[in-house]
């Protein structure tokens, strides 16, 4: 599969670069602000982005992402609106790889085929669905791949070794490792067993492992990247955006996180 994600991963591997991947909620505080953020991320050299589709019951997300999701839903930000935004960005020359982070309910409601077709027309590169069980609805990842869209899988700290190996095989381009049990959100320190857990995954795959949940400052980024291939940061960026109410402040904060990337 050759899309923007796979090209990004291949380039990072060739140049021995670590990846910093922001997560933002589409439509928070507005779709125009989301567009500005994406443009700003691309301009500063961010390699890849997770765009959260607002959902009314985001089980894996902490209070910051929940609140931003609810605010976006008040403005009727849907999958279709998110796709319109991505399509507009593509027409304007944006080549930043974009992964939709969506719970399964909105996708089922729309219909798998319509969802995949819409993503193709819009220029979305991948889908990360945290509540899509392995071995259930297997035709959905197959459908995505047939359309050139990556299906990214998650591994949690309590995932068994056997299941971990299966998920690693089934995940396209990279693996998202959830660094802690529970929900998203900032924290003062990372898991003590992070290094051993990432190494255990790497023993069962050659795919890059990106770590998310709880990363909130450049020291965390440096620590995560010392043992993994990439760091995913969401709540910390959205927290700044929520407090400061300015896109420029969120971009400045994200740029400060990049200081944790090893040279």
Buried b (16+ CB within 10 A) or exposed e, 172-208: bbbbbbbbbeebbbbbeebbeebeebbebbbebbebb
pTM of the model as a whole: 0.93
pLDDT in tens, 53-109: 999 887 767 789 999 999 999 999 999 999 999 999 999 999 999 999 999 999 999
Cα–Cα distances (Å) from 233 to 115, 141, 218, in that order, read: 26, 25, 11
Q: Which two tokens stand for residue 21?
A: 């991947």
What is the rounded CA–CA span in Å between residue 68 and residue 100?
Answer: 16
Tell me whether residue 61 is one of the annotated catalytic residues.
yes
What is the rounded CA–CA span in Å between residue 251 and residue 38?
Answer: 10
Domains, the chain, ranges and CATH? 4-256 (3.20.20.70)
Residues (pLDDT < 50) of the chain are: 182-186, 188
What is the rounded CA–CA span in Å between residue 147 and residue 61?
Answer: 28
Tell me whether residue 71 is one of the annotated catalytic residues.
no
pLDDT of amino acid 24: 97
Q: Which candidate in 42, 57, 61, 137 is catalytic?
A: 61
pLDDT of amino acid 182: 44
What is the rounded CA–CA span in Å between residue 88 and residue 239?
Answer: 26
pLDDT of amino acid 192: 72
Q: Which two tokens stand for residue 160?
A: 């068994």
**Angle at CA of residue 115, ends 182 and 239, nearest 5°:** 35
pLDDT of amino acid 183: 44
pLDDT of amino acid 188: 47
Beta strands in the chain (DSSP E): 19-25, 49-52, 98-101, 126-128, 150-155, 175-178, 209-212, 230-233
Asked if 3 and 148 count as a contact pair (C-beta separation under 8 A), the reply is: yes
Residue 25: helix, strand or coil by DSSP?
A: strand
State the virtual CA torsion across 135, 100, 185, 74 in degrees, nearest 10.
-120
Asked if 127 and 176 count as a contact pair (C-beta separation under 8 A), the reply is: no
Q: Which two tokens stand for residue 102?
A: 């969506």
Asked if 110 and 16 count as a contact pair (C-beta separation under 8 A), the reply is: no
Strand partners, 253: none
Q: Which candidate in 42, 50, 57, 229 is catalytic?
A: 50
């Amino acid at each position: 599969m050759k899309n923007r994600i796979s090209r990004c991963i291949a380039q990072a591997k060739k140049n021995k670069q670590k990846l910093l991947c922001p997560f933002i909620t589409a439509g928070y505080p507005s779709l125009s602000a989301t567009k500005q953020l994406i443009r700003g991320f691309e301009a500063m050299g961010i390699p890849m982005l997770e765009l959260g589709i607002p959902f009314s019951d985001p089980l894996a997300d902490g209070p910051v992402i929940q609140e931003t999701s609810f605010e976006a839903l008040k403005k009727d930000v849907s999958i279709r609106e998110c796709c319109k935004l991505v399509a507009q960005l593509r027409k304007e020359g944006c080549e930043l790889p974009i992964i939709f982070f969506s719970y399964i309910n909105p996708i089922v409601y729309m219909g798998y085929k319509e969802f995949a077709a819409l993503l193709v027309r819009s220029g979305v590169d991948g889908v990360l669905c945290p509540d899509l069980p392995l071995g259930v609805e297997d035709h959905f990842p197959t459908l995505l791949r047939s359309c050139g869209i990556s299906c990214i899988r998650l591994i949690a700290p309590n995932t068994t070794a056997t299941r971990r190996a299966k998920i690693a095989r089934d995940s396209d381009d990279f693996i998202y490792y959830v660094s802690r049990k529970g929900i998203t959100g900032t924290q003062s320190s990372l898991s003590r067993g992070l290094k051993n857990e990432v190494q255990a995954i790497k023993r069962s795959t050659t795919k890059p492992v990106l770590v998310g949940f709880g990363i909130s400052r450049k020291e965390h980024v440096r620590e995560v990247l010392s043992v993994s291939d990439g760091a995913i940061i969401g709540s910390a960026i959205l927290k700044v955006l929520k407090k400061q109410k300015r896109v420029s402040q969120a971009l400045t904060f994200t740029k400060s996180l990049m200081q944790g990337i090893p040279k």
